[in-house]
Amino acid sequence: MKPTRNLVIFSILNLCTTILFVTFLDKGILIAEAEDAPNTYVTVLPLLYAMTWFISGLVLGKTDNGRKRRYNLGLAYHLASIIVTMLGILFAAVVFARFREWQFIVFSPIVMGISLVAHWLGTRDETKGIEKEKAFK
Amino acid sequence: MKHSYEEKLLNNWEDVFRQGLLTFWVFVTIKTDSLSVSEIKKGVNNLTDGMYNPTEQSLYRLLRKHYELELVDYTESPGRSGPNKKLYHLSPLGMQILVRFSRRNICLFHQKEVKLLLKKGDKK
């Protein structure tokens, strides 16, 4: 199962933004604690981070060449998102003490794993993520 | 009243029966020639004696999915006064699938009982 070029770009881009997000979020929380008031790091940054995921998924996913692979591309993007998020969580836990919450580290992969299984169950009858009723009218 | 009830039953059965067969007629239309969407629309209409009259939009959507599924290919030819025109034809995989589908599903209609039924219809 060779990933498409867009999927690789999506993964690398979001891995970089995740590392930047975690780093700046830690800084933001530190400033917020010192000033006892929220700052742009903790208010705007999460929104920008979420938008990066959303827009990159939308643009790269929509423009991905579906013909060159035989697996479900939507499921592959979902899996890539989980791997990137897990790497981000791992990075945060190793580098920043404040993110070393065991509940967060344990429950995040479980929740994401459940979402992936649900996605797989919902699309396992599809070919390349296309429903048979829509492919063969 | 009886006639309209009969028509309603027939139309309902046909609606269900036709679902899935548009792909068959499209594939038959493009199995040897590279055709544009408007030509495919006409071809399907001619092949089915006007029973199937798909819109160009629905054909575009269908062909886009078939292209992604590797069942059809296209070549581009310069349009008269606009963007390039896509000419669709059946891919080798599409041809294999069409032949297998026909053997498994269409050949059934050559059964003796079906032929007798059609003869009976002709006599009427």
Q: What is the mean pLDDT of residues A7-15?
A: 97
User: Distance of alpha carbon B124 from its chain centroid, rounded?
Assistant: 28
Contact A67 B68 (CB under 8 A): yes
**Residue B122: per-residue pLDDT:** 63
Q: Which residues in chain B have their CB less than 8 angstroms from residue A137's CB?
A: 19-20, 22-23, 58, 62
Domains of chain B from N-terminus onward: 22-123 (1.10.10.10)
Question: Which pLDDT score is estimated for B102?
Answer: 92
Q: Does pLDDT of B121 surpass 70?
A: no
Check CB contact of A102 with chain B, cutoff 8 Å.
no
List, in order, residues 6 or more apart from A69 with CB less than 8 Å away.
A1, A2, A4, A76, A128
Model ipTM value = 0.72
Of B27 and A67, the structure prediction assigns the larger pLDDT to B27
Does B65 sit within 8 Å of A130, measured CB to CB? yes
Instruction: Average the pLDDT over B27-36 and give the result.
Output: 94
Residue B116's SS3 state is helix
pLDDT digits (tens, 9 = 90+) for B34-65: 999 999 999 999 999 998 999 999 999 999 99
Report whether pLDDT(B78) > 90.
no
Q: What average pLDDT does the structure give for chain A?
A: 91
- The more confident residue out of A116 and B13 is A116
Overall domain count for chain A: 1
Residue A82: pLDDT band (50, 70, 90) is: very high
Q: Could you list the residue range(s) of the whole structural domain that residue A48 is in?
A: 5-135
In angstroms, the CA A114 to CA A111 distance is: 5
In chain A, what residues touch B22 (CB-CB under 8 Å)? 137
Q: B55 — alpha (psi -120 to 50), left (phi > 0) or beta?
A: beta
Kindly determine whether residue A137 and residue B66, on different chains, have CB atoms separated by under 8 Å.
no
Q: What is the per-residue pLDDT for B1?
A: 53
The whole-number pLDDT of residue B69 equals: 92
Query: Residue A42: which pLDDT band, with cuts at 50, 70 and 90?
Result: confident
Say what the pLDDT of residue B2 is: 59
Whether B47 and B25 have beta carbons less than 8 Å apart is answered as: yes
pTM above 0.95, yes or no: no
